[in-house]
Amino acid sequence: MIESTLATRLGMARQRAGITQAVLADLLGLGAGSRISDWESGRTAPTAATLVQLPRVLGVNGHWLLTGVGPMAIGGGNEEAQIEAAGKILSGEVPDEVVNMIAGRTDPGPVAHGAAHTAEVARALDASPEIAPENPAPSPDLGSTSLLKDSTVHD
């Protein structure tokens, strides 16, 4: 299997879209410069805000672009997932170690191992039966008692 990095996937996606580095920079609102060249060579990485835009601009699956997993092409109906992912990246919910891995600055091994362990624990918790208490606390009976016992008006 050929090793794939964000830099190589970005170059592949741009070429697949049939656009130049200058056109991609323009579509991203970045202006001219060597920024795209630096990304594709692995010297630097796009910002999180730009990473959110790239899949839409290039017409590729964002998960594939970031991780190399899954199909390159966008499937229909994943707009909500893209919006959710964008929100998580921009709000800081994505840990720095994952951002560094995506940017190619960190070995993905430990991050992937941690994610696999977390998924394994989640599957185990989902598979375990819920344990109900033997004597659950009774629900309060609000019945038909009125909060206003005497509704007559006194002068």
| Structural domain contains residue 146 | no
Which residues face 86 on adjacent strands? none
Measured in degrees and rounded to the nearest 5, phi and psi for residue 97 equal -65, -35
> Cβ–Cβ contacts within 10 Å for residue 60, how many?
22
Which residue reads 């989640």 in tokens? 122
Residue 36 falls inside a structural domain: yes
Unique residue bearing structure tokens 């208490």:
133
**What's the pTM?**
0.48
Asked, for residue 141, whether it belongs to a domain, the answer is no
**Which CATH number is 18's domain given?**
1.10.260.40
Q: Write down the mean pLDDT value for the chain.
A: 74
| 135 domain residue, yes or no | no
pLDDT value of residue 70: 86
Hunting for tokens 């006194």 — which residue is that? 154
Q: How far is CA 18 from the centre of its chain?
A: 26
Query: What is the average pLDDT across 93-100?
Result: 70
The answer to the question of residue 129 being in a domain is no
What does each C-alpha distance from 7 to 36, 101, 102 come to in angstroms?
A: 10, 12, 9
Whether the Cβ atoms of residue 144 and residue 82 lie closer than 8 Å to each other: no
Please report whether residue 122 resides in a domain. no
> How many domains is the chain built from?
1
What pLDDT is recorded for position 147? 43
Could you tell me if residue 150 is inside a domain?
no
Sorting pLDDT into bands at 50, 70 and 90, what band is 135?
low
What are 153's two structure tokens?
């008006």
d(CA 145, CA 95) in angstroms, rounded, equals: 53
Enclosing domain of residue 67: 1-73+86-104
Mean pLDDT: which of 66-70, 107-111, 118-122 is highest?
A: 66-70
The amino acid sitting at 96 is D
Is residue 134 in a domain? no
pLDDT score at 58: 93
